[in-house]
Amino acid sequence: MKLLDIANRYYLITLVLVFLIGSLGAYYVLKSIINHEFNEKLYAEQAQLVYELRNFENLQRTYYLNIGDVIELEETTTDPKIAPTLKDTVMYDQYEKKELPFRQLTFSDRINDQYYIVKISKSLLPNLDLIQGVSEIMIGLAIVLMLSLGFLNQWIFQKLWSPFHLVIQQLQDFQITQPKTLKLEASNVDEFNQLGQVLDEMITKNIKDYRNLKEYTENTSHEIQTPLAIIKNKAEILLQEPLNEHQLTEVSKIYEAATRLARLKEGLSLLTKIENNQYVKTSKIDLKPFITSKLAAFEELLEIKNIKLHEEYDANPVIQMNSDLAYILITNLINNAIKHNVIDGWITIQLKERQLIIQNSGNSLMVPPEDLFERFKRNSDSRESTGLGLSLIQRICDQNRIKIQYLHANKMHELILTW
C-alpha cells in the first residue's frame, strides 16, 4: 500500500473518531442547554399560571398558551403535596397531528380554597428541529473537511515527496552493469536531501566494489585456467607412459581432480556473470527447434546409458531471453536428466505454450528437492557433479522470470519450467 493511502486512512479514521466524539459531546451539551432553557420557561409559566388562577375566576380544565404548549388542571379534595417535578414525556400534538416529545412540569397548589394538580407541558419539537439542523451542519462540515484534507494531503504529498519519487524511479532503473550516478532534485526537506546524499555515496561505493570484484573474478579465472590446463596436460602425458597400477591410479586421480576443478571454475564464473547481469542482450528464441538442435548433441550419451527419449511438442512458444543463457539452461536440463538417470532409463520432454516439462527415471533423493537448487548441494558424493547445475538453472530462471519446480516421487524426477 502506498504511503499516501496509509496516511489518508489514518487521517480518515482520526477525523471520524473526532467527529463522533465531538458530535456526541455537542449533542449532550446542546440538549442540556435547551433543557435548562425549557425548565426556566416552565418555572416562569408555573408562576404566571398560579398568579392568573388566583386572580381570575373563569377557570378552564385545559389551557393552550402557545402552539404546542398544554396546561392541564385536575381538582382534588385533599392536598396531594406534589413538589414541582420535571420529566420528558410523549403526547399527541393537535397541531402536528402526531405524537411528539414534550417537557412536562407537574406540581400541586391550593387556589381559592381548592386543591389542584397542575401539569404544564411544552413541545420539544423546536428542540428536535434545532438538534437536527445542527447535526446536518456538522455532518456537512465533516464531509467538506474530509474531502478538503484528502485533496490537500494528496497535493502536499505530490509536491513534497516528488524528490523521493524521483530517487525511487532512478533506483528502479539502476543497473550495476551500466551504472549511472543519481540525478538528485533539490528539496526543502532536509531528510530527502540527506537520503539522496547517502544513496549517492552508497551507489558510488557499490559501483567501485562491483568493478573491483569483476576485475578480481576475471583475473582469478584467467590465472587459474592456465595452471589447470598444464596439470591436465601433464596428467594426460603421464597416463600414456608405462606406469604400474598404483601410479596409474594416482595420476588418474590427479586428472579427475583437475577436470572437476576446471568444471567448478567454469560454473562459478558463469554464476558470477549471471548474478552480475552481464547477459543483458536478449532475442526471440523458438523453443521447439532450439531444444531439438541441442538434443542432437546428446545422442551418444543417450546410447551409452541406453536411455529412451520421448518428445511431446504441443506448441512452439517463442520466449525473449539471452541466447547464451538459453543454451546453458537447455543443455544443463538435458545433461542433468542424463547424468542422474539410470541404465536402461527414460526421459520425457513436454513442450507446451507456457511450460517446459522434463521427466526422467533415476535414483531416490536423499535430500528435499528444493535443497538441490542451493550451491554445492548434491544428492550424493559423486565426483561427477559439482553441485552447481541446478543452481545455475535457478539463477537463469530467476533472471528471466521463469518459475521452476522440482517434483520427485517413486524414483521419477520432474522439472517444470513455467513462464
* Residue linked to cell 398568579: 51
* pLDDT value, residue 264: 65
Domain identity same for 232 and 323: no
Amino acid at residue number 5 = D
Provide the pLDDT confidence category of residue 223 given band limits of 50, 70 and 90. low
Domain identity same for 151 and 169: no
Provide the pLDDT confidence category of residue 263 given band limits of 50, 70 and 90. low
Domain identity same for 320 and 211: no
Domain identity same for 321 and 376: yes
Domain identity same for 223 and 294: no
Once rounded to an integer, what is the mean pLDDT over residues 293-320?
Answer: 88
Distance CA 34, CA 125 (A): 11
CB 111 within 8 A of CB 53: yes
The CATH number of residue 360's host domain is 3.30.565.10
Packing angle of the helix pair 190-239, 245-275 (nearest 10 deg)? 160
* pLDDT value, residue 347: 92
Domain identity same for 121 and 14: yes
3-state secondary structure of 183: coil
Digit-coded pLDDT (tens) for 385-404: 555 667 778 888 888 888 88
* DSSP code at position 358: E
Domain identity same for 184 and 301: no
* pLDDT value, residue 201: 81
Domain identity same for 262 and 296: no
Task: Using the 3D structure, point to which of 107, 122, 155 is the last residue of a domain.
Answer: 155
* pLDDT value, residue 270: 67
Number of domains in the chain: 3
Domain identity same for 174 and 147: no
* pLDDT value, residue 61: 43
Q: How many CB atoms lie within 10 A of CB 133?
A: 10
By DSSP bridging, strand 346-351 and strand 308-313 are: parallel
Task: Using the 3D structure, point to which of 155, 187, 209 is the last residue of a domain.
Answer: 155
Digit-coded pLDDT (tens) for 33-56: 777 777 777 787 777 777 777 766
Domain identity same for 291 and 262: no
Task: Using the 3D structure, point to which of 85, 120, 155 is the last residue of a domain.
Answer: 155
Domain identity same for 243 and 369: no
141-150, 239-248, 267-276, 299-308: least confidently modelled range: 267-276
Domain identity same for 76 and 148: yes
Domain that holds residue 100: 3-155
| Whole-structure pTM value | 0.45
